[in-house]
Each structure stands twice: as structure tokens, then as C-alpha cells.
Structure 1
């Protein structure tokens, strides 16, 4: 990833930083089994972490890499649930600091760590991780194959990877693409086969390819409802101008995602 793109992605997440409280620290979508599923918004987001973690098949004591780890909330939950050690990387300085705070609060000092690093040029030796996760982070990559090849490099033979993608499910206009790019989603795939091919091009063997588009779609309306409910309190904390700017931008983005963006989950492994 070029220095300019790293700075742009990092600044994007630095700018929206504190507002992560709206999603309980989870910078990903929620998961509902069906339209009849009445799971509350934040619980649905935690459920997605559980579902993705299940696909990763984590085992006690394993070393796990979290690429684009956000503020560490999924890493904290997975470390607690599976007794693994997780190293997260991000290009947001604010996320590094916030993640460290959350790790200490969760009692996981030394079990979850976050460092500033480029996913396309990772500071790790070959073959040091048992498993890796790229949880709603790969869509921000300038060169997705390079990210995946780096993950492939740092995994041990037989190591597992789960990554998620935001495909487009309807034709995107030039204006749509501008909105997505401004929100760090520059190159959404068109089909599940395209997401599978991405993994295979980096040397992975795909073990599961899932389209969860309909299971996550409720996220966008749920988030906007939560934002409207908490807006007065947020305005007191962060200022009405900042909250208005955020609300306008996120409403445009999430309305587009609800109508034209889906969700792919790819599980794969590095051949032994």
C-alpha cells in the first residue's frame, strides 16, 4: 500500500474514532439468521465475530494475526473465547491506542497486542502465525492480492485464514463508486467466484465460500436508528457540527450499502 493510501485510510479511521462507541467497538456488520431474528443490533455484531471465529477453527494456544484489527474488539472476544494469542495490525494511530486501552480493560494484557503496520508489507518473519483474520479490512486494500500474499507468507504451512469482502450486488454508478472510495472501499468484487479467485491467486486453498449478504443487510438501518437515538448525547460529547457531518456522510454510505452492497466470507488455508 502506498504511503499516501496508508495515510488516507489511517486518517479516515482516526477521524471517525470516538464514534466507534455506537457499534460497541465492532467495525463490521451484524449477523441475523433471518428477517424474523430479533437479535438486538450490538448483539448481532458480536454474533458475527463468533460466526467468523468458528470458521477460523481456533485452538487453544495458537498465535493469530488480525489484519486491520480496528480497536481490537473482535480480537478481545476471540482471545477470551478460544484462549489464543492475537497480534493486530492497523494503520490508524488512534486505533492502536484505543485497542491497548480495551485490551487492558478486558484483562488480556500480553494476550492481545496491536501495532501500527502496513498489511501489504508486514513486519513479521515467515511462518509465525497459526491463523489469520482479515475482518472487513481487505476492502480497504489498494492491492488485495499483495495483502493476501503477505498473510500467506506469515502463516505456517497448514495455517488458516478467514477474510470478508463487500461485493456489489447491483450496478454501481460513478457517484456510487465515489462514495465507496471515500469510505475506503475502492474495488468491490462482483461475484463470490471473484472473491474465491482472489484467495487462490495468493496461494490459498479455499475451504468455504459463503454469501451472507442477506444475513448482514439489516446492519445499515439498525445503525442509522441507533445514531438517531443517540445523536443528542453524541452532540453534547463531540459537538453538533461534527456529529452532523458524520451523520450526513454515513447516511449516504449506509443507504448505498443497504441497496447495492453484499457480504462474502471466505475461509481458506495455506497448503502444508
Structure 2
């Protein structure tokens, strides 16, 4: 199960980074970003280091606040966070038409929460691709605890250059992981390469919507907050992602902002004024308590120096996501279903 206790939080801070190096890693991480003098092209050229530093620093907080599934989902009245995320994972499995025994790739699998749920739901064989050693180690612990070691596995690798043979998998999905890629077409092309002809790829992306105005200073500030708080080199528009899927060779079956389908928005857990016993850490009292705990743990040297700074940039993410979602300029649930044609000429001809 995910680590949700105070001591678990303290032990998880910094991931695979040595405790004495956490503060310097935080300093290096924030300097990548616009709000601290960084530049987009620097983040893109160092995307792997950016993402690895981010997840080493943030994963402990993610588990403490979210559990084992690090993604957003819209919801219905009365649903808990856990219920929303599980339903969204089932939606992905159903869109892909998963069946027992199929070989499936989870691109950017985190610590394996979605992988475990989808494997149980569909009885498929799932490989989780991840480039972060700490998350892989946590994921292996979780699949062992779930009794799924024969059904699920992890593979260390860069999703821009996967250590996987062509035409290996019968389905693939990416749950809000590919925003870390420096180039959308590049990562989608790699997924296309390892997918068997005729098979499907389900993509859940973080995107700027048509309401985003690149000349609006407030919009740019919100974008920068999200990038800082979530380890992103840049944020693409919905149109850019659809075009990149086409350019990678996929037949786009449909593309839609799933946020439009639910009365409870994906960003509701970012609202500190929303009271919830099941997501207490996300409420205003929960955040005050968490910040106090982190301060005390760092002061007592139980948590490493730099822990409060990690908490601060994660709060920046929360604020940016909430503002971006409320103003309609950003969505965390832009869904694209793509299919790799059976033949190279199929997508050009529009038929088999």
C-alpha cells in the first residue's frame, strides 16, 4: 500500500537522493524554471534530469497526499478521490479493449498504482516503463504486496528512446506522464514503434486549451507555476498534441477534453476550501498541518534540509493547477485514442 504516515513521509523525502544532497538537488531543480531564471530550451535539453530530480523530490509527498496513483480525474457527486481515479483507470482499459493475457505498456508508470488496478481489472500482462530508480523500487514493492509479480513488471528506460523491440505490445497507455517529454511527436513515435500494427494507444495529456492566450501575462504566470511545481519542460496545446499524434503515424480515433464530462472538475482536490475526510491533506487545515509537520521534521533533522522547499514548490503547482483549471486555460484530462494502422499505407488511404 502507499505510504501515508508522517514517518513514511519523512523517509520518502528525496527519493534515491542522499539525504545530505536533497537541499542542493532542490536548488538545482528550481533553477531550471522560468520563475527562478531558467529557460524552456534548457529544460527540454535536460528533460530526463529535470524529471528525475522532480520525482526523487516529490514522490514521497505524492504518496502522502494522493496514494499510489499520481493523476487527475473528473468525478461525480459523492465520489472519493480513490473512486474517481479507479474509474478513470477502468475507462482507459475499456477504451483499449483490454482482454486477458494481452501484453500492455504503461508509459511513465509512476509507482504503479494505475498499473496494478488495470492489471486486476483486465487480467492483462503490464510492463511499466519508468526512468526513475526510486519510483521503480517503490513500484516493485507495491506489485509484490498486491500479489501481481507474475503479471506486472517494471522496465527502466527513457520514453524518448525505449529499450524495447519494434511491434512488441498489444496496447499502450500513458496516464498524464508524457507532459514530461521535450517533444510530443518524439515520444508518441516511440510508442507507435513498440506497438503492434492495428493496436491502440490511449493518451491522457496535460494541455493548454484554446482559451490560453500566450500574450496574457497572467496566463503565462499560471503556466510557469504548473511547470515549476510539476517538473515540466513546457506545456503543449490540445491542438499540438493531436497534430503530434497524427505526425507520429497514429490514426486518431477521437480526441476530447474529458473535463467536460463531469460535474466535479479534476482540479477540485486542489481547492483548499473543499472539506474532505478522505483527502484531508489537500484541505486548508490539512495543508497547514502538513506544512507544520514538514517544518518540525526538518528542524529535528528527521527529514532532510530542503524538505520545506519541496513542499513550497508543490504548493505552487497546486495553486497553478487550480487557477488554470478554473479559468479554463489548462486541462489535465485531454484524452486521445489512437490506432497504429495495420499497413503503412492504411492511414494515407483511409481504409484497409
Above 0.5 in TM-score? yes
Equivalent residues in 2 for 1:59-208 (5 A)? 59-169=99-209, 170-171=212-213, 173=217, 174-182=220-228, 183-191=230-238, 193-208=239-254
Report the CA distance between 1:241 and its aligned residue.
Answer: 6.7
Structure 1: distance between partners of 2:289 and 2:93: 30
Q: What's the CA shift string for 1:36-74, capped at 9, x where partnerless?
A: x12112222222212222222211110001110000110
Structure 1: distance between partners of 2:51 and 2:82: 25
Contact 2:223–2:320 at 8 Å: present in 1 too?
no
Report the CA distance between 1:245 and its aligned residue.
Answer: 2.7
Runs of 4+, deviation exceeding 6 Å: none
Report the CA distance between 1:233 and its aligned residue.
Answer: 9.0
Question: Is 1:8–2:50 an aligned residue pair?
Answer: yes
The structure with more radius of gyration: 2
* Structure 2 partner of 1:54: 94
Contact 1:165–1:188 at 8 Å: present in 2 too?
no
Report the CA distance between 1:234 and its aligned residue.
Answer: 5.4
Structure 1: distance between partners of 2:79 and 2:306: 30
Label 1:3 to 1:87 Cα distance change in 2 as closer, same or farther (>3 A): farther
* Structure 1 partner of 2:322: 258
Q: What's the CA shift string for 1:121-161, capped at 9, x where partnerless?
A: 11111101000011101111011111111110111111110
Select between 182-191 and 122-131 the one with higher mean Cα deviation. Answer: 182-191
TM-score of the two chains, using structure 2 as the length reference: 0.70
Structure 2: distance between partners of 1:3 and 1:190: 20
Report the CA distance between 1:232 and its aligned residue.
Answer: 7.1
Runs (5+) with no aligned partner, structure 1: none
Label 1:177 to 1:232 Cα distance change in 2 as closer, same or farther (>3 A): closer
Structure 2: distance between partners of 1:190 and 1:153: 24
Structure 1: distance between partners of 2:306 and 2:86: 27
Label 1:234 to 1:268 Cα distance change in 2 as closer, same or farther (>3 A): farther
Report the CA distance between 1:197 and its aligned residue.
Answer: 1.5
**2:207 counterpart SS class:** coil
Structure 1: distance between partners of 2:81 and 2:164: 36
Runs (5+) with no aligned partner, structure 2: 1-42, 325-329, 343-352
Q: What's the CA shift string for 1:170-201, capped at 9, x where partnerless?
A: 3354433433333233332333x433222111
Residue 248 of structure 1, aligned match among 302, 308, 312: 312
- Total equivalences in the alignment: 268
**2:91 counterpart SS class:** helix
Structure 1: distance between partners of 2:47 and 2:336: 25
Contact 1:177–1:186 at 8 Å: present in 2 too?
no
Contact 1:86–1:112 at 8 Å: present in 2 too?
yes
Contact 1:30–1:46 at 8 Å: present in 2 too?
no
* Structure 2 partner of 1:28: 71
